[in-house]
Every structure is written in structure tokens, then in C-alpha cells.
Structure 1
Amino acid sequence: MAVFSSTDSYIVSDELALAVNACVTLQKPLLLKGEPGTGKTRLAEELASALGAPLLQWQIKSTTKAQQGLYEYDAVSRLRDSQLGSDKVHDIANYIRPGKLWQAFTSDTRPVLLIDEIDKADIEFPNDLLHELDQMAFHVYETGEQIKAMQRPIVIITSNNEKELPDAFLRRCFFHYIRFPDEAMLRDIVNVHFPAIQSRLLTTALEVFFDVRETPNLKKKPSTSELLDWLKLLLAEDMSAEQLRDSQQKGGLMPMFGALLKHEQDIEMVEKLAFMSRRQGR
């Protein structure tokens, strides 16, 4: 049964909606890959909102260890309390800090668990979570407890493809690659955020945006979120379609280019190509 689709505030492709619903049906983690800024994190937020479910977000960093998602034992606090003569030290459970997986497993309501940017961690991180994500259970060695999911959480895992993930991990996931939206879908996304935008301005802005994305050898192509930032600035400056087109035809950089281009070499590349186009009389 379908549980998720586009909403008034968030547009998804039919393929992505099917992937989300398949993940819910199969009770398998959904692994999302795609360019940064394509809405992978936002999807988990919108899914939780659509289901009326709590959202637990585990933001992965280069120093994150899998154990932190289960629990952490605060030995430092226990030592300090021991030195102070606190009665708390007699119960080691007082020093066990549940992680996001523990919280998800013991939630009264089936939650959405977001494991965000899993590829930032070291290569062993996904493998260290294989058993827990497969069995939805783990052992707390310090207390002897067995923590088992009362109901399987909906797990969304995002990756920016910075590292390859192990095959054994991939086998346990339902995979979806978020392709970059085409012009029609981008129009729908923009109209959700800026319903009053003039059609001519949007048409011209999208032409400029796709021209930039198609520039060869860009270090970083502008994303959907950067397009929205750029349009917000154009609207704040009351930029017209004619002004935007004039700036393009004069062979310079587009207004507010810092919202789209984030590397010096990309700025130089776009500026050079714009200058060459102007000299060729295009």
C-alpha cells in the first residue's frame, strides 16, 4: 500500500515514491544516493511528517563509530561519581547513553531513522552495523540487556558517493539513485517554494542554470538547493527576465553567481566560456 508521494511542500519523482513505499513494504533500509542538494535528507523529514512518525536523525561524521548508534558507556562520569562518593556508581545502567538505534528500537511509535551521509565514516562502519540492521537487535555487554526492536523502524540511509559501500551492506538495502530533476520537475519544485514567481523569469533562470550545469569540467555542478537559493536572491533584488537575459548576452557572469558557483576554477571556467560566446556573437 502506498504511504508516500509528493505533497504541497515537497515534490518527488514517481520512481522515488515507489522506492520509499517498497522500503516500507519490505521493511528494509532504503539507501539513497545522489548529488548533494537533491533532497535526500529532506525526504526522511517529509516521510516522517507524512506518516505522523517521530524522526530520529543520526548525522555521520568522519569520526563516527557504529557503536555510538547503539549506546555509549560513560566511564568518565562513573569515575568522577565514584570519587565523589555518589550512590549512582553501584548501578552501571546510570552510565549507559542510548544511541539513535536504541532510541529507534524502543520507540513507542514506529519511527523514521535517518542515517545521514554514511559514506563520511570509515570503510568498516557499514559492516559494523550489518547485524543490528538485519536482526534489529543488539546486546548491551555492560548490563547484559538484549535490546530488540518492538517494531522495525523505517530506515533511510543517505550517501553522497564519496566512498564505495560493502556488497554485504548493499545486499541488505533497497537502493535508489536520485537522478537530477529535469526542467519540468524543477519547475514544479520551484513553484512549491516560490508560487508567485513570474513564468518568464523562471524560464530564463532555468536556461542559465542548465547552461551552467552543462559547462564541461566543473568541479561542482550547482544543485537543486542552490538553484532555490539563487532564485530567492533574484526575487529579493526584483530581477526581471530581461535583466537576467541581458547579463547573459553581455558575456558576463550571471547575477548573484556566488549562490551557484562555489569554486574559483568553476567561476573562471564559466566566465571564460561566456566571454567566448560573446566574441562569437551568440
Structure 2
Amino acid sequence: MRFEGTDSYVATDDLTIAVNAAVTLERPLLVKGEPGTGKTELARQVAAGLGLRMLEWNIKSTTKAQQGLYEYDAVSRLRDSQLGDERVNDVRNYIRKGKLWQAFEADQKVVLLIDEIDKADIEFPNDLLQELDKMEFHVYETGETITARQRPIVIITSNNEKELPDAFLRRCFFHYIRFPDADTLRQIVEVHHPGIKEALLTTALTQFYELREQTGLKKKPSTSEVLDWLKLLLAEDMTPEDLKRDGVNALPKLHGALLKNEQDVHLFERLAFMARRERR
């Protein structure tokens, strides 16, 4: 079972090595990188490339580790007991299985995505150490132990919003998705916008990388944002000449697809203002 990428996802050599190493070691793959560099999409493509079902657990700031195992609905059981419902005699009727439980009980190996783990409380990763390490957990309400029938391929993403505990990191295989170089980005663009004219692509990517390298930029545009930008350029049937900028107009065309906060827009407006002053 080896991941070699898919037709719809350009996986670099170091990324495929990381995925296959995690599969071989049977350890979670912890993937970090800038937002928009394809971390979440990686899990979907690993599942597609290996022909496996994928389960997705999206983490929020309020998510607790227990929710990934199961939740016991004591309120519903109390209400049913007051109504004389016979379902109350079996506590299993009030246990909702979490994504880890679903992955553990699957008859075939699955890909389990734990997306944006750094959004949760700092104790969240530590609360999953035992379950991810031993691939089992105890259900106190029923007294049973749930053990994985097939060890799932676990992919965990993080945007580096907070540091993860050392004990958790030690149990993972780590990979950082670097922002793609120009050649790799061209391959990614070809997957999403096949047949785009070379002159337009060259001009657009030149502007894009110049924008990313601008000193003082608060949020650099990512892969997903340049793909959105190119989609707009194609929809507007723009030419390389339409994209030409001078110092007077520093903002790129349709810049709302690339710049996501007012500080960065103001930065380029100031650059344009300074360029106009120098021309006088």
C-alpha cells in the first residue's frame, strides 16, 4: 500500500515519502504548513489514491477529545425514562459514536483526518495519546473496550496556531508542506486550469511571487488563493497586457482574491502613493 499522488493532486517527492513512512510506521502523519497549501486535501487524495474510505473530524475551539470517541446523551435518557420509553433499558441507545470509534470499528482500513488540531484546547492532543497509540479505548457506560479492527491511516493537520505537546509530537511522523516553487506551482495550475496560455500564466505567477515577497505583508497569499485568482483572470478573459502594473498602480488586478486584510491593501496603496510622489 503506497501513495504515489493522484491525477488531481500534485504531491512532491518529499510529501509522498512522508505519507508512505507514516503508513509503514503505523503512526499518525502530522502535517503543518501555511493555510491553503493543501493539507486537508492531502487526506482526501490519500484516501482516493489508496482506494480507502475517509472519515473527517473537523476540530473547533470547543471540541473535546471525548467527542472523537463517543458521547453519552444522559439528558435524552432521563427524558425517555420519564416518558416510560423502553429504550432506557439499554444504555447503548444513548451513546453516539465519534469519528475514532467509527474508524476503529470499520471492517476495512480507512483514512481518518483530524483537521486543524491546533484550534482546540492545549490539552486536546494529550487527551488522545492513549487512543492513537494503542488504538483502543474504554466505554465506561457499557464496560466494553473498543479496539481497532484495522489500524486507520491517521492524518492530522495544523496551521501552527499553537504549539503541540512534545509527548504528542513524539508519536507522530511530521511533515511540513513548504510553499511550492514556480515549477511545482505550474504543475498544480495545470491540474486545475488545464491549457491556460503560457504568456498569461508567466505574467500572473511573476506578479504573484512578487506580491508574496513584498516586505511587510501580513498574510501571504497561498496556493488556493492563486488558483482562485487565475480562475477570475480566465473568467474575465484577461491578457498579459491587462495585468501589467506600474508603480502608480501597485495593486494587482482583482486583488481581492489575493489580499485578505485591509493592512495589506493599504501597504500596496502606500507603495503606489510613494511611487507617484517620486514621479513628480
TM tier, smaller: over 0.9
* Deviation at residue 5 of structure 1 after TM alignment: 2.1
The SS at the match of 1:219 is coil
Aligned counterparts of 2:108 and 2:276: Cα–Cα separation in 1: 60
Aligned counterparts of 1:55 and 1:271: Cα–Cα separation in 2: 45
The SS at the match of 2:77 is helix
1:78 is aligned to 2:80: no
Deviant stretches of 4+, over 3 Å? 247-250, 274-281
Tell me the equivalent position of 1:273. 271
TM-score, structure 2 normalization: 0.96
Tell me the equivalent position of 2:92. 93
Residues paired across the two proteins, number: 279
Indicate the percent of aligned positions where both proteins have the same amino acid: 70
Maintained 8 Å contact 2:5/2:45: no
Q: What whole-Å deviation, never above 9, does each CA across 1:71-124 have from its counterpart, x for those lacking one? A: 000111111111211100010011011100000001111000000000000100
Opposite residue 126 of structure 1, the aligned amino acid is: P
Q: What whole-Å deviation, never above 9, does each CA across 1:175-231 have from its counterpart, x for those lacking one? A: 000000001100000011111211010101011111111111211110000000000
Tell me the equivalent position of 2:64. 65
The SS at the match of 1:157 is strand
The SS at the match of 1:131 is helix
Maintained 8 Å contact 1:251/1:278: no
1:1-282 to structure 2, matched below 5 A, reads: 3-245=2-244, 247-248=245-246, 250-277=248-275
The SS at the match of 1:31 is strand
* Deviation at residue 248 of structure 1 after TM alignment: 4.6
* Deviation at residue 280 of structure 1 after TM alignment: 5.7
The SS at the match of 2:150 is coil
Q: Which stretches in structure 2 are left out of the alignment for 5+ residues?
A: none
| Cα separation, partners in 2 of 1:39 and 1:252, compared to 1, 3 Å | same
Maintained 8 Å contact 1:30/1:173: yes
The SS at the match of 1:231 is helix
The SS at the match of 2:157 is strand
* Deviation at residue 271 of structure 1 after TM alignment: 2.5
Aligned counterparts of 1:201 and 1:64: Cα–Cα separation in 2: 44
Opposite residue 257 of structure 2, the aligned amino acid is: A
| Cα separation, partners in 2 of 1:276 and 1:12, compared to 1, 3 Å | farther
* Deviation at residue 276 of structure 1 after TM alignment: 3.8
Aligned counterparts of 2:181 and 2:273: Cα–Cα separation in 1: 27
Maintained 8 Å contact 1:215/1:270: no
Aligned counterparts of 1:37 and 1:174: Cα–Cα separation in 2: 21
Aligned counterparts of 1:266 and 1:222: Cα–Cα separation in 2: 11
Opposite residue 202 of structure 2, the aligned amino acid is: T
| Cα separation, partners in 2 of 1:106 and 1:258, compared to 1, 3 Å | same
Opposite residue 266 of structure 2, the aligned amino acid is: E
Q: Which stretches in structure 1 are left out of the alignment for 5+ residues?
A: none
CA RMSD, 1 decimal: 1.3
* Deviation at residue 250 of structure 1 after TM alignment: 4.7
* Deviation at residue 279 of structure 1 after TM alignment: 6.0
Aligned counterparts of 1:5 and 1:256: Cα–Cα separation in 2: 35
The SS at the match of 1:123 is coil
The SS at the match of 2:154 is strand
TM-score, structure 1 normalization: 0.96
